[in-house]
Amino acid sequence: QHSRLWLLDNNLLAAPNAHETLTALIKEKVKVDFNQALDIRLVNDETAALLVQCSYDTFLRFSFDRLPYEPYIHQGLAALQVYNFPMSKIMIFLLVGFDTTLEEDLERISIIKSYKASPFVMKYKPVNGVEPILKRSMNELQELARWVNQPHGFYKVMTFSEWLKANMQKSGPDEIKVL
């Protein structure tokens, strides 16, 4: 009998037996870490009721890779809020540097921030020769990740433009456009 379980399934909620798996985790009272982001598009009332009964060692993780997924973010987080799941225990991964603009990235961060959930920026790295659709400055992506991912959560207390200005004073000008 283990007290903790680290699940690497990147789409557990899409499995035909997802609800049975969640029910078993609840019954066994095991602390679970859904290490890969769950698919928030599949979080309905029944799934939310099960997810809130699970015990977590860390954040409950979802992803928000593109702005058109925004309605699913609202729907899934609202379903969890009905059961009083603490938004501070939710982390939402954001893929940046593949096919989104800085403005879209900032909008997604703002949406997550409005729920008091934690965003986590993941910079796209080409795999098997698949290059990003939109070319972006690596400095811009790095600064965005630093602004969001640092433990202090600088995104909570300053805008990205303020972050860039503060850091450009320390490191000198670079190719990042200040909004």
Name the residue among 21, 28, 72, 71 with its Cα closest to residue 51: 21
Name the residue among 112, 51, 35, 58 with its Cα closest to residue 84: 51
pLDDT for position 176: 54
pLDDT for position 129: 87
Distance between CA 57 and CA 37 in Å, rounded?
15
Please identify every stretch of the chain with a pLDDT value under 50, giving residue numbers as ranges: 178-179
pLDDT for position 10: 76
| Both tokens assigned to 177 | 């456009």
Burial group, residue 5, by CB count within 10 angstroms (0-12, 13-18, 19+): middle
Q: What is the DSSP string of 146-158?
A: HHHHSTT-GGGTS
